Amino acid sequence: MLRPATSRGTACARALPPGAVPADVRRHLLDRARRGEAVSGYVYDPAVAASAARALRAALPSWASLFFAVKANGSPAVLAALAAAGGVDGFEVASAAEARSAAQVLTAAGRPQRLLAAGPAKSPALLAALLDTGTEVVHAESPLELARLSALATERGTTVRVGLRVNPRSVAVTGTLAMGGRATPFGIPEPDVPAAVGLARSLPGLDLAGFHLHAVCGNRDAAAHAAYVGWCLDWAARTAAATGVDLRWLDVGGGLGVSYDGQDPLDLDLLGDALAGLRPPAGVEVAFEPGRWLAAGCGWYAAEVVDVKSAYGSTFVLLRGGISAFALPGTEEFPFPLAVLPVDSWPTGLPRPEAREVPVTVAGELCTPEDVLARDVVVGRVRAGDLVVFPGAGAYGWEFALPSFLGHPVATRDVLVPDHPAPHPRTPDPVLEDVR
C-alpha cells in the first residue's frame, strides 16, 4: 500500500506560484481547459531530459558509460531525445516491452544496440525476449537465473554476456530507497558471490564479464556517491582477483537524487571532480544507469480540480486523476511541489467552491483514502475548474501509476516538439504532439 503523502514535521508547505510552470506548458494546459477538454495527464519536454544527459555526460570521467533506466520514463520521444548525440550510450531495461521500445529508439537514431537488463524475477520468457532484442549484458540475480540463461544460450548456440548483480553486506551511501546492504530480493548476497561466480564459470554459453552493484535510490550527496563508486571499483577488482573473473564490466547503478522539496540538489560539479580522481582497472567499462535524475525535470502532471470541499476542519481539493495517473507523491515523506493555474471559464449557474490561504489536502477520484497527492499545502486560491500542476513528474510518473483501478480515463501524455532548435531549457511557441 502507498504511504499517505505527509508534510515534514508540522510546518505546512506553500504552493508554487503559477510562474513556476514554464510558459509553454501553461499555455498548452490552459488551452486544453478553455477548449473544454478534461485535463488529467502529462506534458513532456524531451529537451530538458536531453540537456540533463549532456550535463551528466560532461561531468562523468572519460572511462564512464552512461545509460538511462527506461523504467523511469518510457516515452519514445523522451528516449529519442536521450539517445541523441551527446546523450546516453544506451538503455537499461527490465521487461520485454522496455527492451523492444528501447531497441526501436536506438535503431531509429542510428545508434548501436546497447541494452542492459536487470530485475529480480526474470522469467524464462523474459530472458528469451532479452536475448531476442540483442541485450548486451544481462545482470543475473540468482543461481537459477544463471542456469536459465545457460539453457537458452545452449539451445540457441550463442553466448550470453553476464554480470552478477550483488547485494553487498553493507553500503555507506544512503538515499530514499535501499536495494543493497540489507535483506532485499535484489541480487546475490555478497557471501554467496564466490559460489555464484563458480557456477557462472562452469555453465556453457555464459561469458561472465563482471558485476552489477546498485544499492540506493535518491542520493543527493555528491561526495558520498563518488566514494560509493570508488568502493565499487575496489570491491570489483578484489573480488574478480579472488574468484578468477576476467573483469571487463562493472555497472555501478544509478541512484542520483532529485530535489523535489527545495533542499540542496545534487552538486554535479562536485560529483564530477570527485569521480575524476578515481581510476578503474585497465580494460574495464564502468556503466552508470540513472533514471530519475535524467528525466524528472522533463515532465509536469496536471489535473483539473473537480471540487473543493471541507470536512471536520480540513479542506480537500479533489482532482480528476490522482494516484491512478500519478502515484509518486504518495510514496514521499514530504509535500510534493505543486502550483495552481487559474482557469477563468466556468459554467453559468453553477456554484464554484474555492479555498483561500488555507492548508489543503489534494486528493484524487479513486474510492480509497490512499488517493492523496499532497497534504498541508497552503494555496493562495484554488477553485473548482482550476488546474493543479506538479513539476518534477518526468520520472516515475505515468510508469508508476495505477490506471486500472475504477477504470477512469487514463492520463494523457503530450510532448512539446520545438519548431526549430533553440537554447535549453525552454523552446518558444512549440508544436504539441499527442502520444496517447
Just list the catalytic residues. Answer: 367
DSSP SS3 for 111: coil
Q: What is the Cα–Cα distance from 22 to 426, expressed in whole angstroms? A: 8
Q: Which residue in this structure is represented by grid cell 499545502?
A: 377
Give the amino acid at 15: A
Residue found under cell 470541499: 309
Residue 17: strand, helix, or coil: coil
Q: Give the whole-angstrom CA distance, residue 317 versus residue 372.
A: 10
Residue whose C-alpha is closest to residue 392's, from 293, 268, 260, 276: 260
205: left (phi over 0), alpha (psi -120 to 50) or beta: left
Nearest to 394 by CA among 198, 233, 258, 200: 258
Q: What cell was used for 267?
A: 552538486
Q: By CB neighbour count within 10 A (0-12 exposed, 13-18 middle, 19+ buried), where does 237 fall? A: middle
Distance CA 83, CA 310 (A): 48
